[in-house]
Amino acid sequence: MVNPVEKKQRLAWLMVLAGMMVTGVSYGIVLNCFGLFVKPVSEMMGFSRQGFATSLTIVYVVYMLCSVYSGKLIEKFGLKRLMRIAAVILPCAYFCNSLCTQLWQFYLLAALQGFCVPFLSFIAFAVIIPRWFEQKRGLAIGLTFMGSGLGGMLFNTLAGDWVVTLGPVQTYQILAAVTGCVLIPLVFFVIRTAPGNAQESSPAAQSVPVPAEGLTLQEALRSPTFYMLLAFVTLIGFTTTVLNHTVVPRLSDMGFDPAYAARVNALFMGVLCIGKVLLGVINDRIGVKRANLLAMSAVLLGLAGLYLAQYQGMHLAVVVGSGLGCAMGSVSYPMLTEYTCGKKDYAAVYGVINATNVLGGAVCPTLTNAIYDSTGSYDAALLMAVVLLLLAVGCHTMVRKIRN
């Protein structure tokens, strides 16, 4: 007979595995593969890069709004119900990208995708995983969010070739089919939002518990330190998005084959997988503040490599630096939330922190591609990202535990 404690541990790691797969096809395809479509779709449809990239900005804006109100949405509707709705809508909306002929159609679908992705990735599992783990929490979070990197690596490799051989229309359709085949079985039949026998369809059973220690969101919002934290997260969201979504078009503009650029991006996603686990372990061992400094150094390395991308040897710096640095946005923020504000109102506070991270990501594609459209190069955008990263380091030095 299986010991109840052992059964819970097995189920906990099953949630990690399921979370990896769900984030792999939600965030890993919708966001991490977006860069593959910027150049071919813009050229095929006659759009400017800025115009098409605005669809990604819309995804991020809606994602941000969902993050801000995630605590209330989970309390009212239940996390499981929100995940099921998102699991049905997301593959349908992504498939419809293949039918679009006008920018406004891409924008409408982007809004739907922006609603779905947070409840199938970082918002959902930043709530679920801590409920299952008291120890090795950083490792569990890192492994779960490794899925976005694994998905990005796998589907950048496959879709990079498909875009060249089949075209973006069929590539959208194939990726949508894969997304649906993974999401629906796992979300409906495998994932449990919390341990125990509570009815998961009940919002009350899924509302975030209120531990004794820490601050409410309202208390945190009265602290200047909290706004410094939000500024830090926003700046990091921008700089890491530059790395995440500029690799393929940057290398292509430098004269490298699009399929090669996609493989470099896929390798970056693979290193990102390792980086998330590694950063989770580092957080557990040396604390979130020191781990963040290490990750920001990696972001700087990645930006330098991308700026000097005409030299093929610098592509290794892009892969290694970006792989560890971009892990910060998913792995460090749940732990940074607990470090600064405690567990009392965790979901609501994390939702706001994640929203500011998404805000940085939302501004990035439109701004960087506007710079490209006006200058014909990403050089100025990359230099701007370096300056913003240095500002983020300054903000980070002033982030500390907030006391009531």
pLDDT per residue of the chain (404 residues) written in tens, 0 to 9:
557 777 788 898 999 999 999 999 999 899 888 888 988 999 899 998 888 988 988 998 898 889 888 888 888 899 999 999 999 999 999 999 999 999 999 999 999 999 999 999 988 998 898 888 877 778 888 889 888 878 887 898 899 889 989 999 999 999 999 999 999 999 999 999 888 644 454 554 444 444 447 888 888 888 899 999 999 999 999 999 888 778 888 898 888 888 888 788 878 877 888 888 888 888 888 888 999 999 999 999 999 999 998 998 899 999 988 888 888 878 888 888 888 888 788 778 888 898 888 888 778 877 888 898 889 889 999 999 999 999 999 999 998 887 76
List, in order of start, the domains of the chain with CATH numbers: 4-193+202-397 (1.20.1250.20)
Over the stretch 249-272, which tens digit does the pLDDT of each residue have? 889 888 888 888 878 887 887 788
What per-residue confidence (pLDDT) applies to 189? 94
Phi, psi of 48 (to 5 degrees): -75, 155
Over the stretch 195-207, which tens digit does the pLDDT of each residue have? 864 445 455 444 4
Asked whether the whole model's pTM tops 0.85, one would answer: no
What per-residue confidence (pLDDT) applies to 91? 97
The Cα 195–Cα 9 span in angstroms is 10
What per-residue confidence (pLDDT) applies to 197? 47
